[in-house]
Structure formats: structure tokens, C-alpha cells
A and B are shown apart, each in its own frame.
Chain A
Amino acid sequence: MVIEKPALETVWSWLSAVPDPEIPVISLTDLGIIRDVQWQGDTLEVTVTPTYSGCPATSIINLDIETALRGHGIENLTLKRQLSPAWTTDWLTDSGKAKLEEYGIAPPQPAGGPQHCPRCKSAAVERISQFGSTPCKAQWRCTDCLEPFDYFKCI
């Protein structure tokens, strides 16, 4: 049987429709964790890098990638883990950052803290803790509207 191999751009577009399991407003490609997609003979090889080494979402993400690609008829599939270069929030796409902000999560800033409150846009914000509801987020608070919010921390 001859298997028709979909173009890599098509595979990328399928992956861009897979949501992050913890923050479903952004996709896996928005998050920048899909590092490579290649055909090795008849096998599709997808290279994924973890956000945080202990992030429990990692195994769900691998499962979601597999489910999505199998749903599009990919039969021979391998997932490769790549640690280096380590994931950085610089790989979040601009559209991903905009979607985070709209969702109420302040996107990462090189300055090390949120630019403004994602709700009322005030720049008067303070840090509550470097750690938050998931390994990738920190807890901040707006001192104008008093709303606590998540900040996607810069690593």
C-alpha cells in the first residue's frame, strides 16, 4: 500500500489547531514547544520540548499531538523529546501573547514582570509570588482595580 505523505506545512497547520491542555486559549505552536516536524521515511517525527521539566501537562500534550495526527490519518508517528536548547518564552508567538492577554493572563516581558494589568490595563501592579497555578505562571495583583491575575513568567 502506498501511503500519501501530507506536506509538512499541512502537518504544522494541524498542530496549530491543538490547544494547550492547561491554557486552551493558545495552541501548541503558539507556545513554541513543537521544535521540528520531519518525515523519516514513512514515519512522521515530531520533536517536542517541555516547558518545565516537571510540568504534568507534558504527557497530556504528547497524547493530544498523537490523537490529533492520528485523526488526520497519520499512522506511523514518533514523538522525540528535545531538551536543548531549553524552551524559552521568547518562542511564544505574537498571536499567542495577544491571546493570553485577552484571556486574562499577562504575557511574559523581558523586564521580568507584566507590562500592565490584563483587565484594566493599569501599570500599577505588584508581585504576590513567583509561583502560581501552573509551573509557567506567577501571581500578580493590580493595585488599581485590585484584581489578582496570572503572569506568564519569562524564562
Chain B
Amino acid sequence: MGDNTLVLGHRVSEWCGVAPVLEEDIALANTALDLIGQTQLWLGMAGEVEGKGRDADKLAFHRDVWDFRNALLCEQPNGDFGQTMMRQFLFDTWHLITLKALAGSSNEQIAGIAEKSVKEVTYHQERSADTVIGLGDGTEESHMRMQKALDRLWPYVGELFIADEIDAAMVEQGIAPDPTTLRASFDSQLDAVLAAATLTKPADDFAHKGGKTGARHTEHLGHMLTQMQWLQRAYPDATW
């Protein structure tokens, strides 16, 4: 959860100062800020659980590509504004469903972070869904770009719902939901928004994977980290 919000939060922050209009610039920066705030909570907790003295900053800035456990969708480049908003909509919809399930976690700290995040992500999802509908059912140009964005990003959706042994162990202890059980709710929300947006869901369900396990990230994450971690790489352990 923390790597997802960190990587996507950084991606979204790349828009700060260059978004198409002021209101969107502010909205994107606010979304990025919420995601980075959630990252501090998740990675802060991960560091505590690990017990090796690493805090959220250490985990964010002192790991390389293969140690990241974010879904591949989060690291995909921003592309144009439409692609950014399509990525946001696909992520937000999964994120909100997942957080609502995590709010019922047997682990109090996880439930607390999820409860807090649900409030913020509800706003993110409302905005990204509205924007996908507005641009999809917009001009010929915006429709074409949104369909292209959906086709480009669709192969990265499936990974969000793949369960592994760690998921199974967490399900057993009531810590987290089985990701595969969240797919039906995701699909019904997705279908409703795509219908309103006059967009067509790709027929091929092929899914790239390897982000969540860290085994095979796309080439984009490494490039992103050279920017995000630049200061800590050039001046290790610098603080202010």
C-alpha cells in the first residue's frame, strides 16, 4: 500500500506547475499530497514492523527498484493529461475498494490508516471518474485520447487483483482481504463509468505482473527513482 501511494504520489506531483489549467494543477497537487501523506503512515508502520530502525524516509529514499512492491500501474509515465487521469481513475477505484476492506482489518493500526485514507480517496475517485466521463464523452479528440489511454493502461489492471502466499496468510489472520474478491465490485464500477464515458473496455485481459512481487518492474520505475531519490543519492543522509 505504501509503495503504491509513494510511486503514484510522486508521479502525480510531476504535474505541479505544468497542468493544463490552474484548477487541475491544484487538484493534482492536492491528490499527490494526500498520497504522500498516506505513504508516511504506511511506510512508517512498515518500518516499525520491520524493527530495523528504518523510518518512512529511509524506505522511500534508500531502496532501489527491485525492493519496491508497487503495482506496475502506479509507475506508468504520466503521458498526456488524459492518460494521467485514466491511470488515476483505475487506481482510485481499486484503492477505495481495498481501503474500505482494510478499514475492517483485525490489525488496529491498519484499520486506522485505512479509515483515514478512505475519506481522502473518496474525493480522488469522484474527481477522476468525473474527468474520465467528461473527456471520454467530450470532443472527438478527447475521446480518442481517453480510449488510447485505456488501451495503453489496461494490461496493468489485472495485477491489482492477483493474490499470492502473503495475501493468503493475511486473509487467514483477518488482516487484509483476498484481492481476487475485490474484482467484481471494481468491474461493476468500471463498466458504469466507461459506459457513461462512451469508452470501450479492451477485450484482451492479458495482465503484466511483477511490480507487487518486485520481480519485474517496468523500465519506468528506475527512471522515476533517479529523480525522486536524487538528493539522497548525491548527498546520502542529508537532512534539513
Contact = CB atoms under 8 A, between A and B. Distances in A.
B119 A129 contact: no
A25 interface: no
Interface string B160-172: 0000000000000
A85 interface: yes
Contacts of B37: 50, 52-55
Contacts of B118: 86
Chain B interface category by residue count: 20 to 34
A53 B40 contact: yes
Main secondary structure of the interface of B (DSSP, over half): helix
B116 A84 contact: yes
B36 interface: yes
Given A130-B126, A135-B34, A53 B117 contact: yes
B116 A83 contact: yes
A54 B35 contact: yes
B98 interface: no
A54 B224 CA distance: 21
B206 interface: no
Given A53-B40, A53-B41, A130 B33 contact: no
Given A52-B120, A53-B40, A83 B27 contact: no
B197 to A, nearest CB: 18
A85 B103 CA distance: 11
A131 B127 contact: yes
B31 interface: yes
Interface string A110-134: 0000000000000000001111110
A111 to B, nearest CB: 15
B57 to A, nearest CB: 14
A60 B38 CA distance: 18
A84 B112 contact: yes
Contacts of A53: 34, 37-38, 40-41, 116-117, 120
B229 interface: no
Contact of B115 (A56, A84, A135): A84
B113 interface: yes
B34 A52 contact: yes
A107 to B, nearest CB: 18
Interface string A52-64: 1111100000000
Contact of A128 (B23, B30, B127): B23
A141 B30 CA distance: 19
11 contacts: A53-B38, A53-B120, A83-B113, A83-B116, A87-B116, A129-B26, A130-B126, A131-B23, A133-B26, A135-B120, A139-B26
7 shortest A-B CB distances, which residue pairs? Answer: A54-B37, A53-B37, A84-B112, A131-B27, A83-B112, A54-B33, A131-B30
